[in-house]
Amino acid sequence: MMRPVTHSHSHSHDHGPATPASRRLRTVIAAVLIPFALLVFGGMLALWPGDAPSHERTGVGFDTQRQRARVTELEEVKCAEVNAQSRTADGHADPDEMCERATIEVISGPNKGRTFKDIVTPGALRRYDVGQELVVSYQPKAPPEVQYAVVDVVRSVPLMVLAVLFAVAVVLVGRLRGLAALVALAVSFAILILFILPAIIEGSNPLLVAVVGGSAIMLIALYLSHGFNARTSVAAIGTLASLLLIGLLGSLFIGWTKLTGSTDDFTGLIHQQYPGIEMSGLLLAGVLIGSLGVLDDVTVTQASAVWELRQAEPGASWRKLYGSAMRIGRDHIASVVNTLVLAYAGASLPLLLLFTTARVGVTGVLTSELVTQEVVRTLVGSIGLVASVPLTTMLAAMVLAADTGGSPAAPAQGRGRRRKR
């Protein structure tokens, strides 16, 4: 299945503390965001999942378990002796071709200590090393000789090392702001794992769950990362408006292009195990959640740009603030859209190679459901991102221009400069 790479078009948003907003401006923003936040977290409570439905309740009698195992021995054997499907270029079996026979010991579960064999042919992509830890599937009801099968390798250590390196880099460069961003990232994953995925599995509407969960992620991530101030609140409103646009466009074009959301073995298995899940709604939910990261980037950058311009020229009108900030925004749009397209193309590279070798025409490739799904996902997300720039910029410019009750020093400085000119 083509899965989008997480949208990580990162910029530093540490523009220093925002200029204090007036009491009136804070009141207006609070009047918009507080009811919205209460609605979001109330929705989370209403949709909070109980116990996820088991396979037995959904009518699919899968009882496969995942356990861990370790390679204890490797030996070379002739492929012909183990009835391997080994062929030479002319299509005949090669009696001298050598395979590897791995002895694998189960190290978890009720049959800990049990061993089984696995044959690795010369053309296999996965190779074993002695001591390597593996993930194996266990089917208790299967015959003993086929109860275990290797399904993956254990990658915990390298992933943990990479995560630690990432966290250290973020904290070293971002300091307290970087630490806050890491906390926001952890909260985002917690909402995804504890709320969004279980609620969808339980049968709640995927789009509704994504809107509620995504909005909660947006609010928590923005305020933890960028502080409780008017600038962050304007970015939050801009992000919300852009998410609504993405949701409307996504719903329209997913329906118009007749996308089912079930395009490969993984989505087919989900539909088989949990037939109550609306797969097209799940696709739209993925579009919304996948757009959140870059929306945060764009809206905070634009709000910060307007605030910085206002600090540099306190007497500027909202039109001047908007025009100056949009010059920054246009550069941002170009780089973000390019990032999104390349990210999706990179994630879909194996599929594009398959279409190329099959010599399917460009029209055939683009109109196939697999590719159309990614085209719709990319373009709908990109339209939302592009729209977020003028939306957030105009909102920030109009809010600041209307905030006549802000810091008293700023207007005084502005009048002093006009007298000098």
Residue numbers of the domain that contains 288: 23-49+175-409
Confidence of residue 195 (pLDDT cuts 50, 70, 90): very high
pLDDT higher than 50, residue 310: yes
Domain assignment present for residue 365? The answer is yes
* 250 plus 110 within the same structural domain: no
* 273 plus 360 within the same structural domain: yes
Task: Give whole-number Cα distances, 31 to 220, 236, 237, in Å.
Answer: 18, 13, 12
pLDDT higher than 60, residue 364: yes
Domain assignment present for residue 416? The answer is no
Q: What end-to-end distance do the CA atoms of the chain give, in Å?
A: 63
Question: How many C-beta neighbours within 10 Å does residue 287 have?
Answer: 25
Report pLDDT for 349: 72
pLDDT digits (tens, 9 = 90+) for 30-85: 787 888 889 999 999 999 987 655 444 444 444 578 899 999 999 988 887 766 44
pLDDT digits (tens, 9 = 90+) for 59-68: 444 457 889 9
Report pLDDT for 170: 93
pTM: 0.70
Confidence of residue 269 (pLDDT cuts 50, 70, 90): confident
Of 122, 153, 184, which residue sits at a domain end?
Answer: 153
* 304 plus 364 within the same structural domain: yes
User: Is 105 within 8 Å of 115 (Cβ atoms)?
Assistant: yes
Between CA 174 and CA 177 the distance in angstroms is: 5
Confidence of residue 171 (pLDDT cuts 50, 70, 90): very high
What SS3 state is found at 79? helix
DSSP lists the bridge partners of residue 68 as 135
pLDDT higher than 60, residue 246: yes
Return phi, psi of residue 104, to 5°: -120, 130
CATH of the domain at 127: 2.40.50
Domain assignment present for residue 1? The answer is no
